[in-house]
Structures are given as C-alpha cells and as structure tokens.
C-alpha cells in the first residue's frame, strides 16, 4: 500500500515488546528464544526506512539485525542496501557478498552485488572521496627538490626475514621521503597492517597497490572475507587506517605518484594467448566475475584517476608487468600470469614531462626507457631480507629521475 511510515510504527511497536537483545550486552552470547524474530523485525523496519530514503535509520536497523543473527542472509542484504543509500559502496559490496555466502541464490543480494561491482570503479563512496579530498593536494605546495622517491616490490612481509628487514630500516634517514610498494606485500590482512604500519613509521608517505598474493583468501581469513573483492575493500580500509596512500597524490610541486590496479591477462603470451585451463596459479583467489575478466575490471578501477590534470614528473606504479618488451620468466606457462599489455596504454595516457612506471611480480630487477617512459622493477623477494642491508631503489632524487640502490641504514651492521 506504500504506507511505509505506518509500517515503521508497527515494527517499532513489535520490537518494543521483545526483551533486550542479550548480544548487545555480551557479543559472545548465543542469543535467546527471540533471536530470529528480532532479526526479522529489524530487517523489515530497515526495509521500510529504505523505502522512505531514511538511510541512516535503515543502516542502524540493519546493523542491529546482523548483530541479532549473524548468519541471516537477509540481514546482510538489508545492510548492503542501506550502505548503498549512505554512499558506502565498498562496504555495501562486502555485505552483499556475505549474504551470497549464506544464501548463494538470493536474488536481492545478487542484484546488490552487481550494482556495487558497477559502482566501485567510479570511486564515489564517502571513503573514496575523503581519501581524494584530504590526500591528493596535501603536499602540492611542498618545494621542488624536497622529496626523494624510493621503490620496492614483493616484500613478502609475512616471511620472518623480511619482517626483520623492515624493522631494520633506519628510523630517521627517510623521514622526508616517499616509498612506493608495488604489491605482494604479504598474504593476509593482518600481515599487511603490520607491514604497512612499520614502513609508514619510516617514511613521510607510503604508496601501495595490492598484488596477487594480497587477493588470496588465506584459510585463516575465510570467515572474514567472502571473496577477493571483499578482501580488496578490506585492504583499502587498512591503508586508510594506517595512513598509506592508495590513490593518486602530489608529493611536492610538479611531482605526482599514481597507483594503478592491475591483473594479468593470458593475452600477454602472444604465442598462445589463451588461458591455461589446468593452471592452479592464484587458486586461492575467489572472484565474483570470470577469472579471464579480472584484468579488465582492474583497469576500470584506474579510469577515474587517469583523468587528473597531472604535470611535471609522474611516477605511476602497478604490481604486474605492463609491457611485454620488459624481462620476465618464460618457463612453462608463467608468461600467462606475468602482465597485461593493455595496462601500458593507461601508463602512456598519463600526462607529464617525465614519466616513470614502477612494477613488480616478474622477479627481475630492471631499468629501461621505452618510448619516453622509464620502467623500473626493484624486486625484493621472499628471501630478500636475508641480506642485512637489502637496499631500496631510488627512482627520483629530488632533482631528476634516477635508478640507484641505497642501503636501508648506514653505519655498522645491525643484529
């Protein structure tokens, strides 16, 4: 009948007749005899508030429904709807994906997840806009020549030797400088938080994009992340919390750093440009879209950032190899999982008088200029930290583009 205000009143009356939710007092409580009814009532009132476009009220009720019954797919679906209304597109995706884990064929959750997949590349959520508003121009007036930019990839912080290596980086030497981390920082969200927190304490700013390892759903995270896009959202939230940049920003006058999401395409293998049906590479990833389409979606995530009016020196970076003319392993079918030539079109679409692109993944350290773009790879690797002073790569010394290694600390050897 469209009498949503009356529906809100009736559900409010019913909720008032229920005893207090024991889970509000003790989150570990198993609930009471009214758990399911309580979740349904909050879900329905949330739906009525959504119809009235009272999104904050809808959000609050949906959250109460999830607290009341965590394994209720409709509660997560209502929460996703309310989050979309509140401009929390990334978080909404997580809730719809969780609903589909609980009920794989839920039509509303499928529609909601698809809506989020369509919206994410526009970066219109409150979190994305705040990230852009607060961080893009914070160093725009910083004097020319005041910033050095270092790069590294494939740190694998969850290996003990590399965690120890990160802690050995001098606490003061790089405090005015910028570090680019081109993916494969670690496998789990908890390790990423520890690793980026450590690096952030050593540098003025840290820029990061995830690699393939970060998109794996580790067994310890299977209950936390519904799929690899949900984990990606979680990684971005971690970066926001620890103050690490995942979107473009000026680092001083006339110098910009541009993170670029990426994935590999089988077409990178020009001799056999078809996916390997027997491959188990990245089998721990769970994508809500076909595996062969992931690279296209990752490139869509870059489109908004490519439109910025960059000038001067532009340092972009990705995890995967952007150009098949660069070196990479060719054993077996490895080339199919190395990179994406279409990514290079985005790299070359960036304006700038000097252009540098940092990449990782290939396990080949390299420096080469091709068609006006300088490509650099400073692969660290799973055993990189066994070298006590395993260096960083300086890609801009404040005056010009360069490519030279620099020890992570000076003086006598540290234990």
How sure is the predictor about 412, in pLDDT bands with cuts at 50, 70 and 90?
Answer: confident
State pTM to two decimals.
0.96
> What is the reported pLDDT for 1?
54
- Cβ neighbours for 182, distance < 8 A, ≥ 6 positions apart: 151, 152, 153, 154, 209, 211, 317, 318, 319, 358, 359, 360
- pLDDT score of 301 more than 80: yes
Give per-residue pLDDT as tens, 313-368. Answer: 999 999 999 999 999 999 889 999 999 999 999 999 999 999 999 999 999 999 99
Half-sphere exposure of 149 (CA within 13 A, CB side): 30
Determine contact, residues 128/88, Cβ cutoff 8 Å. Answer: no
C-alpha closest to that of 180 among 339, 60, 17, 315? 315
Give per-residue pLDDT as tens, 6-42. Answer: 999 999 999 999 998 888 888 888 888 899 999 999 9
């Amino acid at each position: 009948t469209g009498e949503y205000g009356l529906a809100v009143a009736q559900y409010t009356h019913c909720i008032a007749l229920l005893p207090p939710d024991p889970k509000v007092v003790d989150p570990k409580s198993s609930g009471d005899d009214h758990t399911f009814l309580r979740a349904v009532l909050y879900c329905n009132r949330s739906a009525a508030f959504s119809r009235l476009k009272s999104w904050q009220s809808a959000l609050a009720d949906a959250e109460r429904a999830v607290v009341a019954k965590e394994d209720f797919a409709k509660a997560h679906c209502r929460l996703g709807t309310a989050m979309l209304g509140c401009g929390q597109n990334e978080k909404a995706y997580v809730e719809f994906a969780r609903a589909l884990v609980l009920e794989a064929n839920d039509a509303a959750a499928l529609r909601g997840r698809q809506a989020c997949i369509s919206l994410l590349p526009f970066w219109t959520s409150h979190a994305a806009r705040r990230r852009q508003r607060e961080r893009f121009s914070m160093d725009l007036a910083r004097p020319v020549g005041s910033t050095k930019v270092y790069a590294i990839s494939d740190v694998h912080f969850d290996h003990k030797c590399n965690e120890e290596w990160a802690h050995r980086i001098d606490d003061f030497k790089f405090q005015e400088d910028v570090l680019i981390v081109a993916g494969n920082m670690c496998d789990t969200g908890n390790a990423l938080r520890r690793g980026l927190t450590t690096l952030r304490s050593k540098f003025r700013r840290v820029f990061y994009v995830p690699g393939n390892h970060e998109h794996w759903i580790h067994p310890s995270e299977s209950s936390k992340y519904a799929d690899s896009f949900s984990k990606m959202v979680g990684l971005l939230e971690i970066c926001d919390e620890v103050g690490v940049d995942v979107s473009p920003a000026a680092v001083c006058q006339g110098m910009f750093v541009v993170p670029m999401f990426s994935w590999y395409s089988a077409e990178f293998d020009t001799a056999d440009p078809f996916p390997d049906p027997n491959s188990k590479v990245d089998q721990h990833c769970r994508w809500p879209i076909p595996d062969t389409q992931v690279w296209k979606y990752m490139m869509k995530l870059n489109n908004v950032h490519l439109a910025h009016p960059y000038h001067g020196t532009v340092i972009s970076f990705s995890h995967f190899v952007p150009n098949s003319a660069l070196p990479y392993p060719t054993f077996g079918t490895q080339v199919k999982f190395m990179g994406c030539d279409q990514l290079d079109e985005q790299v070359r679409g960036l304006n700038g008088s000097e252009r540098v692109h940092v990449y990782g993944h290939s396990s080949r350290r390299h420096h080469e200029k091709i068609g006006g773009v300088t490509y650099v790879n400073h692969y660290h690797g799973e055993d990189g930290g066994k070298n006590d002073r395993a260096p960083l790569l300086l890609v801009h010394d404040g005056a010009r583009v360069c490519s030279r290694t620099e020890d992570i600390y000076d003086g006598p050897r540290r234990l």
